[in-house]
Amino acid sequence: MSDYRFKVKIYGVRGSYPIAPTEGTKIGGNTACVLVRTKNNIVIFDAGSGVINLGKELIPEILAHQKTKNTPFHITFMFNHTHNDHLMGLPFFAPLYMPGVFIHFFGPATLGLDFEQILRNFVAPQFFPVSMDEFRSTKEFHNLTENTIVYFTPERPAPKVGHILEPLPNDRELTIRTMKYYFHPKDGSYPFKAEWKDKSFVYATDVEQYIGGDQRLINFAKNTDVFLHDAQYTEEEYKMFAGYGHSTFVSAADAAKQAKAKKLLLFHHAPNHTDEDLLKIEKDTQSLFPNSELATEGWEWEL
């Protein structure tokens, strides 16, 4: 394990479905998955196909923990929303099958259905051979709202749940704030802000900016160090897909500029965009917001 205090690592960058083009891809072909962690706290944003590789990487750490400590190994998942590209890797996440692992799931109740029931339906026998109760890890489920704050304190690695109107303890190690984005079909999405000391990382995928920018999201991301933002479309493509819940690289750059973000990461790449297409998008974005780059699998930010 490298020497870090706070870390963000990207494991999946695509939208809609994973790809494996014959010519390969240096950008990445897996769907949405981002790790945010400290030494003691592990939080995973979304469980697209990228979470499969993340699960494999966590196994040595879990086994080492189990050899030296008689306590559960805690992992927290937070889901932006529950469309298939954000869930598809979950049944293949190896720690889900391991006793001694405690997984905390946070996600939105959607169209009147509790988040726990959504996940249970996803691995129902009609769709997957292992049911939620047959996974050997311990699990708990939380419906997510925009008033929810998830945070961690030194005395235990399990997450605590706060409310936006409640004071938070000063000794917290990691804080995840949420907001509800209302216009991703058909029941919105949830951007997240991870805070560690005076540093922050904003995860805002599956958002569609307005003309002039979504001021709620811009204020949510104000002065953030890294602003990961949906940028699935070019301006020309957007003419065909307005209302689908995704942004152009132009609107992502505008949001980052208005938020005074230090860095913009373009995310949720269209599966039909080649590496060449994406590198052109990156170059065009940099002409609008110079400190921009493509989100790529394996990208890390360590403090």
Report DSSP letters for 159-225, one per residue.
EEEEETTS---TT-SEEEEE--BTTSTTT-B--EEEEETTEEEEEE-S--PPTT--HHHHHHTTT-S
Q: What is the pLDDT of residue 212?
A: 85
Q: How far apart are CA 129 and CA 97, in angstroms?
A: 13
Question: If DSSP codes are grouped into helix, strand and coil, which group holds residue 250?
Answer: helix
What pLDDT tens digit does each residue of the chain (303 aa) get? 468 999 999 999 999 999 999 999 999 999 999 999 999 999 999 999 999 999 999 999 999 999 999 999 999 999 999 999 999 999 999 999 999 999 999 999 999 899 999 999 999 999 999 999 999 999 999 999 999 999 999 988 899 999 999 999 999 999 999 999 988 888 889 999 999 999 999 999 999 988 788 999 999 999 999 999 999 999 999 888 887 788 999 999 999 999 999 999 999 999 999 999 999 999 999 999 999 999 999 999 999
In a domain, 220, yes or no: yes
Q: What is the pLDDT of residue 133?
A: 97
In a domain, 1, yes or no: no
- The count of domains in the chain is 1
Closest CA to 31 of 71, 83, 66, 73: 83
In a domain, 67, yes or no: yes
Look-up of token digits 């809609």: 16
Domain coverage including residue 219 = 6-302
CATH for 97:
3.60.15.10
Closest CA to 28 of 275, 226, 282, 265: 275
| Residue 152 token pair | 């961690």
> Packing angle between helix 275-286 and helix 249-259, nearest 10 degrees?
40
pTM over 0.85: yes
Q: How far apart are CA 204 and CA 227, in angstroms?
A: 8
In a domain, 15, yes or no: yes
Q: How far apart are CA 66 and CA 99, in angstroms?
A: 10
Assess contact for 152 and 173: CB atoms under 8 A.
yes
DSSP state of 228: E
In a domain, 236, yes or no: yes
Alpha-carbon radius of gyration of the chain? 18
Look-up of token digits 């599956």: 206
Please count the other Cβ atoms lying within 10 Å of the Cβ belonging to residue 120.
14
| Residue 56 token pair | 């494999």
Secondary structure of 45-72 in the HEC alphabet?
ECCCCCHHHHHHHHHHHHHHHHHHCCCC
Assess contact for 247 and 221: CB atoms under 8 A.
no
In a domain, 14, yes or no: yes
Long-range contacts at 182-185 (CB < 8 A, ≥ 24 apart): 183/207, 183/208, 183/245, 184/81, 184/208, 184/245, 185/243, 185/244, 185/245
